[in-house]
Amino acid sequence: MSGRANEAGWRSQRGQSSAEWLGLVLLVTALLGGLAASGVAGPVAGLAHSVSTKLLCAASLSGRCAGVGSLDRAYGGELAGMVRERAPELLYGRDLLGLPVDYRTCRSPWCAEGPGPGTVTESLAGEPVTLFTRVIDCRDGAGPGAAVTSPAGAPEPECGSGRRGSVFIQYWAYYPDSASLRGAPLLEREGYHRNDWESVQVRIAADGTVSQRASSHAGYNHTRSPANWGSDLGWGFVREAAERLGLREPGGWGESTGRLLVAGGSHAGNVDDPAGRGDYPGRTPADRVRLVPLETTRSGPLSRPARFDPITPPWRKKVWLDPEAEGTG
């Protein structure tokens, strides 16, 4: 099966009662809790997680968690093709522990744990490497997010001030936890938090120019460099000074590389590294990344109860509506 066949899809299922849904959720919870309490790990725990995920998906009142065509249903054929074409290859730093996974079925570090160096397509528990997608279409006549069904009364994306004519594609990665200061004496706990959302973003201009940037702490970067520290800290005056001096790309936007370079502990991203691939021993090829349209899944039965404290989810970030936003809040 091709990697693109792993696109996430949700298909309506009828005839399932809320009581059946609740019963299956309780069953799955008891199963996983029992395994955790007994110390079962490895293949047995992975099998249990795989089975429980399928049960949750089947009982979610929305059908399968994965299937062909979800991007086309969300965006239409043209935009879906752009999303597939521009999906990034993921390169993982040496100390990366958890992979980007589907938050609807994995919210714990253990089910996101990766197998280590080499080509990686799923976690040890069987969770596929997943990126959630968001499209803002600012072309004339298309309208903001033209192919995307938005809730009634939802605010429209910002397509003025130089955005007109461009298509913006956001690829969002969810991690169950983040450890920015892993290994730092006395500070390691300060850098840890549950839940983490990071992104890599693509801008396709009216003239066909393709640019790319990645989220990194409080800002967006292109090339890995010490000149990014002002952006990383959210210090706009330092970032602007570095950009005026030509030390970093304006707004983090630079030439597309088709890659997302992921730092191990914090998951901070870049799309280029002058040092090459040597610091990134793990990878997921672009065509093996599972793509999930976030606009149409975030209101589904498995998404609605989700909380991401202390992190802000993508649909509440400024960049969700303003694709040129310079901060990650």
Q: In order along the chain (329 residues), what is the average pLDDT of each group of 10 residues?
A: 46 44 56 54 50 55 57 94 98 89 91 93 96 95 55 82 95 86 47 80 98 95 95 92 96 98 88 93 97 88 76 94 95
Residue 48 lies in a domain: no
Enumerate residues 6+ apart whose C-beta is below 8 A from 222. Answer: 212, 213, 214, 248, 249, 252, 253, 254, 255, 270, 271, 272
Residue 24 lies in a domain: no
Q: What is the pLDDT of residue 39?
A: 52
**Domain limits at 268?**
70-320
Alpha-carbon distance of 103 to 131, in angstroms, equals 10
Alpha-carbon distance of 183 to 135, in angstroms, equals 37
Total domains in the chain come to 1
Q: What is the pLDDT of residue 80?
A: 96
Residue 195 lies in a domain: yes
Contact 301, 18 (CB under 8 A): no
Residue 110 lies in a domain: yes
Q: Which residues pair with 171 in a beta bridge?
A: 133, 200
The token pair that represents 76 in the structure block: 């239409």
Query: Count of residues for the chain?
Result: 329
What are the φ/ψ torsions at residue 23 (nearest 5 degrees)? -65, -40
Alpha-carbon distance of 299 to 193, in angstroms, equals 25
Residue 120 lies in a domain: yes
Contact 264, 280 (CB under 8 A): no
Residue 205 lies in a domain: yes
Name the pairing type of β-strands 89-92 and 259-262: parallel
Alpha-carbon distance of 98 to 108, in angstroms, equals 10
Radius of gyration of the chain (CA): 20
Alpha-carbon distance of 4 to 134, in angstroms, equals 17
Residue 51 lies in a domain: no
Task: Give this prediction's pTM.
Answer: 0.82
Residue 34 lies in a domain: no
